[in-house]
Amino acid sequence: MTILVIAEHENGAVAPATLNTVAAAAKIGGDIHVLVAGQNVGGVAEAAAKIAGVAKVLVADNAAYANLLPENVAPLVAELGKGYSHVLAPATSNGKNILPRVAAQLDVDQISEIISVESADTFKRPIYAGNAIATVQSNAAVKVITVRATGFDAVAAEGGSAAVEAVAAVHNAGTSAFVGEELAKSDRPELTAAKIVVSGGRGMQNGDNFKHLYALADKLGAAVGASRAAVDAGFVPNDMQVGQTGKIVAPQLYIAVGISGAIQHLAGMKDSKVIVAINKDEEAPIFQVADYGLVADLFEAVPELEKLV
Amino acid sequence: MKVLVAVKRVVDFNVKVRVKADNTGVDLTSVKMSLNPFCEIAVEEAVRLKEKGVASEIVVVSVGPATAQEQLRTALALGADRAVLVESNDELNSLAVAKLLKAVVDKEQPQLVILGKQAIDSDNNQTGQMLAALTGFAQGTFASKVEVAGDKVNVTREIDGGLQTLALNLPAVITTDLRLNEPRYASLPNIMKAKKKPLETVTPEALGVSTASTSKILKVEAPAARSAGIKVKSVAELVEKLKNEAKVI
């Protein structure tokens, strides 16, 4: 068995989710090859070659693969994928965008967001917003799978010495073009990779009040998240949303502030190791999943917490 | 131009589902069913395109059991012009649904196909991308803004670090994210009018599509329950617990 892992990368570096995906590949067993597609990605390929357990790195460096447009990248992955037993990608927005297109071109079902590997053909994945866990078996010649990063401990980013091989194939469908992007600026750790996450909900009342959470987060070295209610109310940008329709996190510590705990939010954070809830409504559903609950006014509790940690 | 919108009948998002005792699936008997929330957003976007004079006709399509007619009628009440039900009682995987939708696309020849980004039951997030692959159309997934300009459509997408804008050639496939729009409610007169709008039923066999799949669900279990937590009385106690008991700070 040989497994192809599609690398996630940003700003010329390998994104952490790639390391979790390689870990899932290692659980399946067999040789692991990593594909780095993009434009000017030589540095990323070199970094990918150092990932522990990687046997070979394929690098497809071409203007057609800039910004990872799925119309161009999916045919490349489908063509390469035919020679592999498994094709894996992290369940990031790129992975989710590209891989189903690959699966359809290979005429196989895709298995989305696995959280465990039972055997080389059997996997577990959450359904119904995490309220049920399905065990799925695939008999596809090429098993096409996205991996939920929080389900697997990352492999070491250093220690490997894989050979780097260039892929000459160029696919350019010419049906789509990149116009621009607007990225949220943040000095704090990335939400899905942070060890501690502090999240605010509708109870924050406005965007300005998130400063209390930022102060607490900076003291803890934490990332700041939000519930859908806080995003929809315009308090914070939507890339901060934690939930079924936002990001899935599983940090060591998750502090939910002014969040009631709707099903869709819990789907994004209930695998956190320790959950703390601060809410003035003692009936809030968040207290049913919280390890430590504090019934208090967040505007008093959060500044006090910031002083004491 | 003609817009095709795909919708799915799913368990209502407010229902807390229970896993069946024999672990074959979740219990859906006498549970409230609704239009998948992302599909509602897809219908709304199509209706807004029609109101702007961009779309001339909206065809809404669903793949599912006969009861999915209810969700098609809902979409008609929201402003779709006519409906197609591909009737199948099997639990179909995303690829099979994408192949059936491809057959409908071949017949209807829409310029734009709008789907939700994922269904809240299977949580797959695959069908739109797969349909785009099968038709060879460009795809604009997780859309939070859609602007048709001549023979192109500009789609602003929600990506991990923020927003990205793409220009896609038409025909194209778009999948909706939550913030694309706020769906309207169907008014009573529109619900009555929707009953008279055309609804055609076809079968996978009639479309000549095989729905065979390469995967199967062996078992469905309830997630591991979290052990009950405790309520602390003060911030000081909370910090003490986090430092000494949980050892996370």
Using a CB–CB cutoff of 8 Å, tell me whether B170 touches chain A.
no
Please indicate whether, in this complex, the C-beta atoms of A93 and B219 are within 8 angstroms of each other.
Answer: no
User: Which of A139, A178, A183 has the CB atom closest to B161's CB atom?
Assistant: A183
Quote ipTM for the complex.
0.95
Closest residue in chain B to residue A220, using alpha carbons only = B249
Q: Are A220 and A196 in contact (CB under 8 A)?
A: yes
Q: Summarize pLDDT for A168-192 with one digit per residue, the tens.
A: 999 999 999 999 999 888 889 989 8
Most B-contacting residue of A131, A171, A195 (CB-CB within 10 A), to test interface: A131
pLDDT of residue A185: 81
Please indicate whether, in this complex, the C-beta atoms of A179 and B165 are within 8 angstroms of each other.
Answer: yes
Kindly report whether the peptide bond that precedes residue B171 is cis, defined as omega within 30 degrees of 0. Answer: yes
What tokens appear for A271 in the block? 């695998």
Q: Are A244 and A267 in contact (CB under 8 A)?
A: yes
Using a CB–CB cutoff of 8 Å, tell me whether A194 touches chain B.
no
Helix (H) or strand (E) holding B49: helix B37-51
Q: Residue A123: list chain B partners with CB under 8 A.
A: none
Please indicate whether, in this complex, the C-beta atoms of B123 and A126 are within 8 angstroms of each other.
Answer: yes
Distance (Å, rounded) from C-alpha A168 to C-alpha A290? 52
Please indicate whether, in this complex, the C-beta atoms of B138 and A184 are within 8 angstroms of each other.
Answer: no
DSSP A171: -
Local structure of A69: helix, strand or coil = coil
Distance (Å, rounded) from C-alpha B40 to C-alpha B60? 11
Please indicate whether, in this complex, the C-beta atoms of B169 and A176 are within 8 angstroms of each other.
Answer: yes
Q: Summarize pLDDT for A284-307 with one digit per residue, the tens.
A: 999 999 999 999 999 999 999 999
DSSP B109: -
In tens digits, what is the pLDDT along chain A, a chain of 309 residues?
Answer: 999 999 999 989 999 999 999 999 999 999 999 999 999 999 999 999 999 999 999 999 999 999 999 999 999 999 999 999 999 999 999 999 999 999 999 999 999 999 999 999 999 999 999 999 999 999 999 999 999 999 999 999 999 999 999 999 999 999 999 999 998 888 899 898 899 999 999 999 999 999 999 999 999 999 999 999 999 999 999 899 999 889 999 999 999 999 999 999 999 999 999 999 999 999 999 999 999 999 999 999 999 999 999
Query: Tell me, what amino acid is at B110?
Result: P
Most B-contacting residue of A96, A102, A231, A242 (CB-CB within 10 A), to test interface: A96
DSSP B244: I
